[in-house]
Structure 1
Amino acid sequence: MLELNDPAPVLGYDDFIYGKGESGECYITHIKVPRFVALISVSDLKPCLQEITWWDERPFGVAFDHLLTRAITVVETIVAEGENDLTQKIKQAVDLLEERFNIELHTLRDSEERMEAQAQEMVGLAEEQQFNIEKRKAAELALILSEEQLKIQISELRDSEERMELQAQELVALAEDLQAAEQEMKFLALHDALTKLPSRRLCMDRLEQAMMNDRRNKTKTAVLFIDLDGFKVVNDSLGHEAGDAVLIGVGQRLKALIRENDTVARIGGDEFVVLLNEAGQREDVALIAQEIVAELSVPFLIKNDKIKVGASIGIAISPDDGGSAKAVIRNADQSMYLIKRQGKNNYGFFSK
């Protein structure tokens, strides 16, 4: 998240933008169609694209592989050449502005034109820092607000220097609010608002990436489609508040049962999907499914009420049970409904 008072390092290269967030995570953005942004992880000094978000229609086949290869090459080139210390440059620019601004405070009574020129220079310096296309709209809004606030401050500085300082603080707070709102919107675009788990969109994207890895490395990904048994009764008898508490608890229990590089997603209602990367043998997947059925059968304690639900699980394996993410999810879903018809609270593998 780019902050006006302490921006993250950002580098431009060719038609890509590369940078680091506050938490240290790296990302790369493709600014030409098809546009995307992806987090970057580094393993054994080799960068890898993760959590790719597309703004345009995602390419397929050779075009898709070529685009990701170019992105990886750009990251490697930027790391090899050394990232420019953008944070230091911005700090130097801010220090220079503060020094010049203090000089202008003492000479404002004799030269209003000089203060106006200083304000224009500050706006110009701020505009030059807008390298990140993803945050450009928010940055432009902040610049417009900054320019308007500065004009007001110039006219009022003769009577109150303290008022100008207060307005500058309000401007920083407004920029921080805008950044926080943007961060929340991005999170909710890819995550379930109730459980904070990945949404259907992010789940499908991760499954597509996993299937690409399966084809490349001859591995398999297991998709567990989970539907809660008896959840409607909870909503009807105890209300949606209790139902929401159960859904949150289910998400927490599922996350506790899988590895860190696997995925738990809520794709709607009382339906969850678990993605097991490099799943190994069917026996390993069956063991995890048994653990999930057993764990979700343990009653939830909600406001001193013991609430019991169950889980019906359909399992499909990539690439054996489908050539696309949609096909694998659909086959896992069909297997789950078969388990429902056979008595619920169990699991089963997809079979042609």
Structure 2
Amino acid sequence: MNVMKNLCVILSEKGRIKLREMREKTFGSQLSASWETGIPQINISKWETGTCSPKFFTLRSYLGKLGLKRGFLGNKEYILGSKYNGFKLKKIKSNRLNPEMAYALGVLGPGDGYISGKYQLGLSAIDKEFVDYFQNCLENTFGLKCKRYISDKSITNYSNNPKRMYVVRLCSKSAVESLKKFKVSFRECEWRIPNVIFNSSDNCKSMYLRGIFDSQGFVIPTSKFMGVKIKNKEGIKQMQNLLRELSIDSYILKDKTVLQLSGHKNIALYGSIIGFIIKRKKKSLKKILGSYLQKHPTRKEVIEALPKMVELRKTNLSYRKIASITGIGRGSVGKRLQELGY
């Protein structure tokens, strides 16, 4: 921390000299300097007199406003800046894949996560537990502290029902470069599964798939199927192959952008091997598995329940509601009542 303080003192002194030179030649008064640079006048006054120096990240911003661009700060200074939050920067090795990094890769490409530019990556989602877990994966993998905040979205032309968004962001050039060493695109239309995932352990494969399904997956309890929708035909085929390596069968729909899982065996395997972090998807998966364990009524039991179904239908109840009351499947209820003209 003493090294960090010394660095701030050195940079602050360089900035103070630059500020005085610019004020004498161009700005004139401190008020004019404030208007031109966007730096508060009170901060300019304290900075020039030496009564108070800006902290590292504020200082870095002020130096940029004075024309001392990022090239003015070397790599050593950026690394020291990363340590400012009390996290020690780990040496990142791209050839050492762990389950947490595999999950992060699944979320970043082709999931809801993003990589922006050369130094920023993050995630914005409505599920707090999803964002929490992604944040833990990043911090444990890279040894850096993420920025976290909540965004309350307003009503727009695209949504009349805005939801609270949980946002996590990591600013680290080293972290982004380590991810790009996998030599794959993280854009949904260009995305491919990294070769390192295919050559990894079953645990890493399942965590990678969990990241994708948490981001892009869907679960339909009433129809007893689940899947993922991605606008990438080649990527979908690779996902099908990766699931097959875990003994999970799936099928791709005609438009080549939707991969689905159905059947008790496949969905049960998915639940035990891969699963979800998101609670609402986990709950829906549990409903599907629970429905397979239910005892289905016999033909005799359906016929015996028919008078009650007719009686309930006369009260304008829906087929779904009648099925819930009688314990008969919705399909059987609809078929029998339609045959009788109800």
Q: TM-score, normalised by structure 1?
A: 0.25
For the pair shown, the structure with the greater C-alpha radius of gyration is 2
**Quick check: which one's strand share is greater?**
1
Q: TM-score, normalised by structure 2?
A: 0.25
